[in-house]
């Protein structure tokens, strides 16, 4: 099966500019996640979608970050305006619905990420 697809692979922007990242999950995966990974740290969840509804966005800086998952498949994460501290790798992941019977052990499958540098 095809894995999680993300684009672009790299992006360099100046502070106060805007940027968008795209993610296409594994076919059939109802749950989609966006994580931020700052260099040398573990990934931190930004937002979790179940189909096209938001399940958890408690750590999303909503004054500058937004995300959508139209039609419950592809997703876009946007930053506007970007700050220097947003420099990180943005990882998209998908999984089967963990609340379904027998799926509690369903791992997250990650894309290769987008490395964002804000100058």
Partner 1 sequence: AQKITQTQPGMFVQEKEAVTLDCTYDTSDPSYGLFWYKQPSSGEMIFLIYQGSYDQQNATEGRYSLNFQKARKSANLVISASQLGDSAMYFCAMREGNTGKLIFGQGTTLQVKP
**Which residues are near partner 1 by CB under 8 A?**
31, 33, 40-45, 48, 50, 55-56, 89, 91, 93, 95, 97-99, 104-105, 107-113, 115
Closest to partner 1 by CB, 16 vs 62, is 62
Minimum distance of partner 1 from residue 51's CB (angstroms): 12
Minimum distance of partner 1 from residue 81's CB (angstroms): 26
Minimum distance of partner 1 from residue 52's CB (angstroms): 15
Minimum distance of partner 1 from residue 104's CB (angstroms): 6
Closest to partner 1 by CB, 9 vs 15, is 9
3-state secondary structure the chain: CCCCEEECCEEEECCCCCEEEEEECCCCCCEEEEEEECCCCCCEEEEEEECCEEEECCCCCCCCEEEECHHHCCEEEEECCCCHHHCEEEEEEEECCCCCCCCCCCCCEECCCEEEEEC
């Amino acid at each position: 099966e095809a894995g999680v697809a993300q684009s672009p692979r790299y992006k360099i922007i100046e502070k106060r500019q805007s940027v968008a990242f795209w993610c296409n999950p594994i076919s059939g995966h109802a749950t989609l996640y966006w994580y931020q990974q700052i260099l040398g740290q573990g990934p931190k969840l930004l937002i979790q979608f179940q189909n096209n509804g938001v399940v958890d966005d408690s750590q999303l800086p909503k004054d500058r970050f937004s995300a959508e998952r139209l039609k419950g498949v592809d997703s876009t994460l946007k930053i506007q305006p970007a700050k220097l501290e947003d420099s990180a790798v943005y990882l998209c992941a998908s999984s089967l619905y963990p609340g379904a019977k027998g799926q509690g052990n369903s791992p997250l499958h990650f894309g290769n990420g987008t490395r964002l540098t804000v100058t």
